[in-house]
Amino acid sequence: MAEQIIRTEYSDVMQKSYIDYSMSVITSRAVPDVRDGLKPVQRRVLYAMNELGLNYDRPHRKSARIVGDTMGKYHPHGDSSIYEALVVLEQDFKKGMALVDGHGNFGSIEGDGAAAMRYTEAKLKKFTQDVYLADLDKDVVDFVPNFDETEKEPAVLPVRVPNVLINGAEGIAVGMTTNIPPHNLAEVLQAVKAYMDRKSITTEELLEYVKGPDFPTGGLVVNKSELIDIYETGSGRLRLRGKVEYEPARRRGDKDKLVITEIPYTMIGTNIGKFISDVVALIESKKTSDIVDISNESSKEGIRIVLELKKNADVEKLTNMLYKKTRLEDTFSVNMLVIADGRPEVLGLKGIIEQYVKFQFELATRKYRTLLRRDLEQKEIKEGLIQACDRIDLIIEILRGSQNMKMAKECLIHGQTEGIRFRSEKSEQEARELRFTEKQATAILQLRLYRLIGLEILQLEKEYEELLAQIAEYEKLLSDPKAMAKAVKRDLNAIIKEYGVPRKTVIEDGKEAVYVENEIEEQEVIFLMDRFGYAKTIDPAAYDRNREAAEKEFKVSFSCMNTDRICIFTDIGAMHQVKVKDVPFGRFRDKGVPIDNLCNYDSREESIISLMPGNAMPLKKLLFTTANGLMKQVPASEFAVSKRTVAATGLKGDDRVVGVHLLDPDIPDDNVVLITEEGYYLRFRLSEIPDKKKTAAGVRGIRLGDTDHVAHVFLLKHQKMEELPYKKATVHYTKVKLARRDGKGTKLR
């Protein structure tokens, strides 16, 4: 076949390819289908378990077998993602209704990971079998080829509850995310019934049934008044709080306690440990002195985080502080994005219920059509058997006189008697009048002799009557929408009765947590940071007593006020801020804490170039120098910001900052000395460097060779320097001739 060249715009090809990729991620990986509320990997895991026969009343099977079957037959992706989906389906602290019964270590609410798949075992829960996988054999959903067209898999599971609401969903696609909270099973199904009774029902009226989210971790939702808007639009923010209980001391020697018995859903996992460390930080920073000890007494029975209190502690103030300063109060961003009619769409509560009811009627219609078809086939067969029992002597005579099965069957269906020996002409005449259908003839030929017993014949007639009644019922359901709706409601009531559970989460309009920090007494402190990045503050008197040791042991030391902020400039052009009061205050020999823990600075990605107190900066300027020789002066007022991290300067390509100096306005005429990695020295006046905005790149301070970079920057008067580093010794600055900015510099000999 000759090669065909298609001429097209490259941008058009890229756009189409990206859109195709995006839609594939959205519809085939990250976002659940509104009909069964499942992502493809979850659907395939459950179907694979069903095909393996892992029923609730059967033994557990190794998770590795389940993952292997899912990956080999239906989901050709990594085994870790499949196992992770299986684990989440088992975790009842993440799902409103867990769908998998796990055996072994499937992780914990505190963030412990599940054991390897070769150690854990699983099977389906009864709820999953009854509500998610029932009726698959009744042609209720379409089956599609798997990835290599060797197997068939359901396009959607015949789930009989709105799973997308009951178990919630979360997923990150390309350009969009979904985050749906779990809800109470009984409440959602009651709302569904109300919608079926009156399609014009409003979201506000639906919320009389669905009180709000029902998280498996319990807790409180404290913005009840905003729920109408959230459920109307399908997006918004829930404010969650943990449940705090006060336990007074019961006997002498005991302490009063604050006990967290329920946590916000967003605190699941490592955030429980983060909460405890945040409380410890509040104690260490002296923001509270009411907490004596904190311990995590959580177990399989539930969450129990205990805070032991001082006598006469202000419980209300302490509770409000926990809500304000830790994740005991948090937000849950709702975005009810689902796949509806094959495309992603954000739906409100009523929209999801509407799609669910439409799907249920489709399932019920297909189910009853299949049952009707099967019963009509059975009716046909039973009618033939009843007729055969009435003329059994003739049929036996035909069977005895036939030479083979085909001859007997042709006689039963078409009345053909050629080649069959009859005892009399009357029998042959009666045989010519037989007109059984093919199915009836097959059933007659397979009829066992014991069915000719009198009671068996009566049972056959009884079954026939029951069959007629069932057929009439199915025909009514398929022809009468009201009767179909009644049947769907009957199924919902049965599910509520067997699987409904009480609500766990309290919905209310909680009062705003008001916490006013105690004003700290302003005082001077000395900030110290060693070469390992451990920082602390100490009393100036302690510093004076240990000045010599401090100068040797600490890389950075300066005086500041405890109400001040510390600005940290790094080589990637960022400025991080730390409140001095957040830096541990202690004794000279205390270790301190890593500066990384106090701000967004990441020692793995960036290096500290300069630290300075923020109060020293107003009305001054900062001198920035980069490795590529670019320099600028920036008014320090541009860095008077509240954000913890800001961009301090603009950098091009792989350039990096090598110097940040605070300029003293009382020293206007200073000399700058630049020293490069290849040993070039350049001295020029500070006034030659212009003022620029912090986002600007700057002007060239020195002309560099192709492989050279600026290594050191010195300000002679600011830093009170007379000697400059030269190889392994020093040299007086006068050895470097005063030149102009943007020169190449000279090598000292």
Q: How many whole angstroms separate alpha carbon 403 and alpha carbon 603?
A: 94
96's tokens = 């409103």
Distances, alpha carbon 715 to alpha carbons 451, 619, 623, 712, in Å: 111, 19, 10, 10
- Domains defined along the chain, listed by start: 30-156 (3.90.199.10), 243-327 (3.30.1360.40), 356-498 (1.10.268.10), 524-747 (2.120.10.90)
**Residue 741 to residue 103: CA distance in whole angstroms:** 73
Active-site residue (options: 47, 56, 119, 132): 119
Taking the C-alpha atoms of residue 533 and residue 528, their distance in angstroms, rounded to an integer, is: 10
- CB-based contact 63:121 (threshold 8 Å): yes
CA distance 609 to 568: 8
Cα distances (angstroms) measured from residue 581 to each of 321, 525, 543, 643, 689: 17, 10, 18, 16, 36
Tokens, residue 624: 């920035």
Coil vs helix vs strand at 1: coil
Task: Name the nearest CA neighbour of 360 among 192, 111, 564.
Answer: 192
Q: Residue 589 in contact with residue 554, Cβ under 8 Å?
A: no
Please state, in angstroms and rounded to a whole number, the distance separating the CA atoms of residues 283 and 281: 5
CA distance 700 to 288: 51
Q: Sign of dihedral through CA atoms 60, 64, 70, 73?
A: negative
pLDDT of residue 258: 92
Distances (CA, A) of 182 to 152, 231, 260, 490, 504: 31, 13, 22, 24, 11
Half-sphere exposure of 170 (CA within 13 A, CB side): 12
What pLDDT score was predicted for residue 21? 59
List all residues 6 or more positions away from 449 whose beta carbon is below 8 Å from its beta carbon.
Answer: none
Is residue 119 annotated as a catalytic residue, yes or no?
Answer: yes
Residues of the chain where predicted confidence (pLDDT) is lower than 70: 1-2, 10, 16-29, 173-175, 449-456, 514-520, 749
Asked whether the beta carbons of 441 and 412 are under 8 A apart, the reply is yes
Count the helix, strand and coil residues of the chain and give each as a percent rounded to the nearest 5: 40, 25, 40
**Region of 72 on the Ramachandran plot (φ > 0 left; ψ -120 to 50 alpha; else beta):** alpha
Tokens at residue 667, please?
């020293």
Give tens-digit pLDDT for 281-300: 888 777 888 888 999 998 88
Give this prediction's pTM: 0.72
Q: Which amino acid appears at position 612 of this protein?
A: M
At 514-572, the pLDDT tens digits run 666 666 678 899 999 998 889 999 999 999 999 888 888 899 999 998 889 999 999 99
